[in-house]
Structure 1
């Protein structure tokens, strides 16, 4: 929710209204710090010093799991280097 632009206070209100769960603002900081640590750990190739253009995109696909068809999203981060070559920075 935070990544999609909701403020911490709106998320806090939503959790209280929907799930009757009270969370502190410090909780959000600890979760964000944990996620950022995970993201930086997943960057296997070190970034080059210059990326002229960086594209972020998402591809929606339908995947069959057992008897259900589920909608999944594949996120991509692509970059173009000054020499015109492209790099895949990450995917999930």
Structure 2
């Protein structure tokens, strides 16, 4: 959500709605700052040629883009290599 430009306050509202848990915008910023480097490393790692199992999921979120609200998809893809 952070990478898509969702405001930290909106992320806090989402967490409250979905998980009944309060989290401050400052805490969300701290968490995203901490994991951002690892996310970039994961995005830039070399991939295997073939994965025996692939799981695909998609979630839709409302995001503000240039002053209007749009629905955007976030795709989660997990490839599992059973060797090694």
- Work out whether the TM-score is over 0.5: no
Query: What TM-score do you get using the length of structure 2 for normalisation?
Result: 0.45
If you compute each CA radius of gyration, which structure gives the higher value, 1 or 2? 1
Normalization by structure 1: what TM-score?
0.41
Q: Which one has the bigger helix percentage?
A: 2
